[in-house]
Chain A
Amino acid sequence: MVSEDMTQMESPRIDSGKIAEVSHGLERSVVERRDKVFSVSDLRVAYGGNIALQDVNLDVHKNTVTAFIGPSGCGKSTFIRCFNRMNDLIPGAKVSGTVLYHGEDLYGRDVDEVEIRRRIGMVFQKPNPFPKSIYDNIAFGPRVLGMDGSMDERVEGSLRQAALWEEVKDRLKDGALGLSGGQQQRLCIARALAVEPEVILMDEPASALDPISTTRIEDLMHELKRNYTIIIVTHNMQQAARVADMTAFFSVLVDEDGAGRRGILVEYDSTTKIFTTPSDKRTEDYVTGRFG
């Protein structure tokens, strides 16, 4: 068990005291008063018979930022892809357990997984703009979904929300691939926003970007969480500390015979708690940099 007085402990890399200052995260009690968007119970994901992730239980609440952290191979990317059923696209992937979206089974038999992805959007680790113009990138989603209303307004609105409008407003017809990495990622965020989602999933959104772009994306997350629910996977602990209200720490469980590795959820709590007084020693080891 962990000793009461954490400040006496040696923390070679992370000054736990400072973390509490940096984090603008909400208190757990505040979070839990908000509507539940997702409720996950006993989730297990297997690829072709190999279990990648198991025994996950957690709730995600409205207008919060939830971060998944953990060492590589712990299944956090696999997990986030359960929320918009992107795992369905991988042949041999099997998801068991329950994921409730506003109280209904996301994996129900007659649920339209294509429409789900409109409501639950995703931004990927490496920016993946379409090889089209900036305008057509944003317009793609609304067009294929048959959304009406002025496309120009929609494009402008999305770009403004993603803090990219000022930079590209005079070159909307230019190719998206000509933008810098940070701009491309904000474009991808704008693209996801254009279809009016409720939730935005971000799989390591800044890991391929430079520090300045990273900061802008993080600032964006603070803005966006007012209107959207955000879930982010990150391998950068400070980032989680900076942006997340709730943090879930995943780790790897090695099989008895050493052959299989599976991911498990170790601890899920408010960010402040995870980084200052974690309940589980494994969490503490990870956030203080002893491993991972």
Chain B
Amino acid sequence: MTTADATVARPATTALPRKKIRVGEQLVHGVLFIAAAISVLTTVGIVLSLVLPALDFFREVSPWEFFTGTTWAPLFLDAHFGVVPLVVGTLTISFWSSLVAFPLGLGVAIYLSEYAAPRATAFLKPILEILAAIPTVVLGYFALTFVTPFLRDIGLEVEIFNALSASLVLGVMLIPTVATLSEDAMAAVPRDLRDGGYALGADKLQVSTKIVVPAAISGIIAAFVLAFSRAVGETMIVLIAAGQLAQITFDPRETIATITAFIGATGNGDVPTGSIEYKTIFAVGLTLFVMTLIMNLISIRLVRKYREVYE
């Protein structure tokens, strides 16, 4: 008999163990579910905090006037509640910043995904992260105190508060968003596809732009949609640099007001609770929420599509 045998103990009985009621396990499951439910409660809270006061608002102001009116002057004696200028302001900012973020972000993504050496990537990606980490208040300050004077210096007659400065800075801020998501999508494209292209005699440019990008297109579009949605929801940059003048204009050199700027400016001030001005915050906020929600759902659907294809 070896030492090995000596330390082996035989089970006392061969009868099957009866099921233990493991209270601890059930408790844990319960606690975990509660934690997860907090997120649901948050959404419920958001919806309630928007919808209820908004309904209140729409009792006093007709939805028709709200959604189609072109004058926004809720704080004046002769008040107007047409939200169109705010929406136009928001979309203007989003449009111009997308014009910056989409191509530049995609270019960065293609470079990182297809061209850059691993060592370069390891160095560049953290820098992108840092760009993404700059607080928006600092970006807003930069837009106001550097970009606006700079634009004037090069001859563009921009007003002190203008859409262009804010859009440019916001666009650059969104480059990492577009780049990271697009790069993920491109990395998911299998190597075989690229090899097939090279084997046919295509060069790197053709493989990258005609094979990889189309193959990753749903992920790339998801990136665009997400970036656009972020631009729509951005507050501080536009609040500081784009102004609070709700007017409909398509000239980015002029002052505008976005939905978020209005909410930020009004919520901060001494607007009496329960007044009609107070309620505008919620009606406008609800509009914003619905806009970003729709865009976000589209983006999620697109991401799922590209994940499905390759994973």
User: Do A and B come into direct contact in the complex, CB within 8 Å?
Assistant: yes
Is B8 touching A104 in the complex (CB atoms < 8 A)?
A: no
A108 and B22 CA atoms in complex are apart in Å by: 18
**B4: nearest residue on chain A (CB-CB)?**
A161
Q: What residues of chain A lie closer than 8 Å to B32, measured between beta carbons?
A: none
In the complex, which of the residues A112, A154, A196 contacts B18, with contact meaning CB atoms closer than 8 Å? A112
Is A111 touching B17 in the complex (CB atoms < 8 A)?
A: yes
Is B20 touching A115 in the complex (CB atoms < 8 A)?
A: yes
Tally of A interface residues using CB under 8 Å? 24
Does any Cβ of B come within 8 Å of A55's Cβ? no
**A160: nearest residue on chain B (CB-CB)?**
B4
What's the minimum C-beta distance from A103 to chain B, rounded to whole angstroms?
8
Is B16 touching A196 in the complex (CB atoms < 8 A)?
A: no
Is A106 touching B11 in the complex (CB atoms < 8 A)?
A: no
Dominant secondary structure of chain B at its interface with chain A: loop
A114 and B21 CA atoms in complex are apart in Å by: 11
Does any Cβ of A come within 8 Å of B7's Cβ? yes
Q: Which residues of A contact B (CB under 8 A)?
A: 101-102, 104-106, 108-112, 114-116, 119, 153-154, 157, 160-161, 196, 198, 223, 226-227
- Per-position 1/0 for B5-17, Cβ under 8 A of A: 1011111001111
What's the minimum C-beta distance from B19 to chain A, rounded to whole angstroms?
5
Does any Cβ of A come within 8 Å of B3's Cβ? yes
Is B19 touching A102 in the complex (CB atoms < 8 A)?
A: no
Is B7 touching A106 in the complex (CB atoms < 8 A)?
A: no
A8 and B3 CA atoms in complex are apart in Å by: 48
**B8: nearest residue on chain A (CB-CB)?**
A227
Q: What residues of chain B lie closer than 8 Å to A104, measured between beta carbons?
A: 15-16
In the complex, which of the residues B3, B11, B17 contacts A196, with contact meaning CB atoms closer than 8 Å? B11
- Contacts A119-B11, A196-B11 given; does A110 touch B18 at CB 8 Å: yes
A120 and B286 CA atoms in complex are apart in Å by: 59
Q: What residues of chain B lie closer than 8 Å to A196, measured between beta carbons?
A: 8-9, 11
A111 and B17 CA atoms in complex are apart in Å by: 6
Is B16 touching A116 in the complex (CB atoms < 8 A)?
A: yes
Is B16 touching A223 in the complex (CB atoms < 8 A)?
A: no
A269 and B9 CA atoms in complex are apart in Å by: 31
Q: What residues of chain A lie closer than 8 Å to B15, measured between beta carbons?
A: 102, 104
A196 and B11 CA atoms in complex are apart in Å by: 8
What's the minimum C-beta distance from B286 to chain A, rounded to whole angstroms?
39
Is A111 touching B18 in the complex (CB atoms < 8 A)?
A: yes
A150 and B20 CA atoms in complex are apart in Å by: 26
**A100: nearest residue on chain B (CB-CB)?**
B16
In the complex, which of the residues A109, A111, A198 contacts B11, with contact meaning CB atoms closer than 8 Å? A198
